[in-house]
Structure 1
């Protein structure tokens, strides 16, 4: 048999026409038919067959999806008459009230833009004598305005322009929203000529690191009760960052050098909200004094660069251990087995005899063994190697508050 193409006017639709899609628009059936013609067939025979095949005629103006649609699956059978279907209503949960970071913007609303020239003037051209502290991100300079007001200017290291202007301005918009009695307040910024400068209100040149390890230079006496208050205030700052923002703000650089102290031992935590500026290669590039700061970092950050709130809890635990012992997290001048503070002290925190010996001699006898043991227990939970075993900082703050109240009762 031969398949022949015929015109629309000359064809007769049979029972089983052969359709060929030629020269048609997408999604439509071609209005041409291929008919299978056999020897001895007549037009009359085909006419009779076509009248019997009326129900098989295809509406050629319909789309492919309509012609070849798959029938929906049958509905599921009804439940058995004896079965009782109970639909439990979902409880209505009030949305959690959290402070969301501001949207991306090129003009931060609450921070004042400064020019490079003006900040050079206020810091005496960023001279070394004006450096008041140094961190992984850069140096912090003391600035004095013409009217005598003091500010702090952090000059962020920005090699090869790794921090873009848009990313920097977005970060400034977020940091300018951080307002808490125990956090350093951002008041301005500068992004000219490749510079990335943050301007803060000046709080104090003294730090917890100075008070613990440079006592001859800094006239601050840290009693046991004073150390508890420092731990409580700095813990409240971290709690604010973790609990008041969504997503939570991770500090990632919490250490005694960023815990500022004034003459009344009020606390202000610096460098809040700057975790995004941490260079990914900081672990391998740092050396000397700055490299020892990594002893405040959680194991998961040192090994994999993972940043989280529980990493802040680990750092906070190391700082509390430093408050307890008066020792730095790493001290090469000590016997080899005592050089790493967490390794040396961590396994002795639950032994009251060993605990009493590791306490800073300057505060020995200022608190009871019971209070000391409770404080050591908090530290032990914070410096757990696995982050899931560390408590949230809000729970730590509650425990420290309880110890502060207990110590106050003992003093009375």
Structure 2
């Protein structure tokens, strides 16, 4: 069977891959480097998606590749719960130092972001002796049972998949562009944060609530970035009511915002932090990092998993930290973020369809609307723009409840030439929309 064409691979895929396991694009990748992808037919793509925030250090970074090769020659698996090894311990030390806050910390490893969320919830419930978890509208936390239960959007993530895990409650998020309370920042005095106190009265008591789980910037929900004061207020309410704050940094972490973790930007030390995606540059690895008192409360073997902290993945993650340190990648990220912001704000003056530009650093997005006054989502136009870019060699992703938000997750190592070429195509696409 000749599988050297996209059409042949797609034909086989339709026979052997479950239909529900869909892909955003139709070209099958043969190799990649930095911010460039090449499919099986030799067609090149500029990657503005980064494997959904997984490739912050770029595809096949030489240091990551070398680390994986060296470890593969030593051993590929022993199970950390049976025969531990140094790379997991060294990586845990790196993470405990990198996660914001001065409190002593401890970590555990799993394989995916959803697994990290599951374990964070388990640990929070164990430590507090309480059961309720509060999540947010438009939030996304994975596709496992607990992940789906915490996730807000029904289609495609939850439709037909219930019943869901009990004791999960949901409140509005701090969306300043589409305020759920009909107010405007800053005159609103953070009504969205104070609403939590009212929520305790009519929905779930703080005495029942183990934790609040929140993305510092909502990813799938539309790159919604609250004001700095919002998290400070939320953190205060949590402390007043003995509720743990879980920061889901699966998408925001590992330099995506120009900070190693986004909570550093907000000046908040979460009680528990989840990490995945770009942690190991494409190798399946996630972590839960929390205050040591909380993490150590669980009895031995109460948390863990067969593949958690796989040695190849841990070595890849250690290489990622080395790249950030030796190549000043956070500085590059901040420069990239500022360049994107200035470009998009300039475009907003030119294109009426751009209703909002938001995010932190290079985790940035543009919301497209039919009318700036009504803010009607320009969903079809966004889909058309994503296709326009793909047809011309740029891979982009949309997000948000209405699919009308263009999000930018290109590798932080993207070259100026690649960036400008991709943005030129996007600009042309916006021009074709005629708005």
Instruction: Please give the TM-score of this superposition, normalised by the length of structure 1.
Output: 0.24
Structure with bigger strand share is: 2
User: Which structure is richer in relative contact order (CA contacts within 8 A, separation 6 or more)?
Assistant: 2
Q: Larger C-alpha radius of gyration, 1 or 2?
A: 1
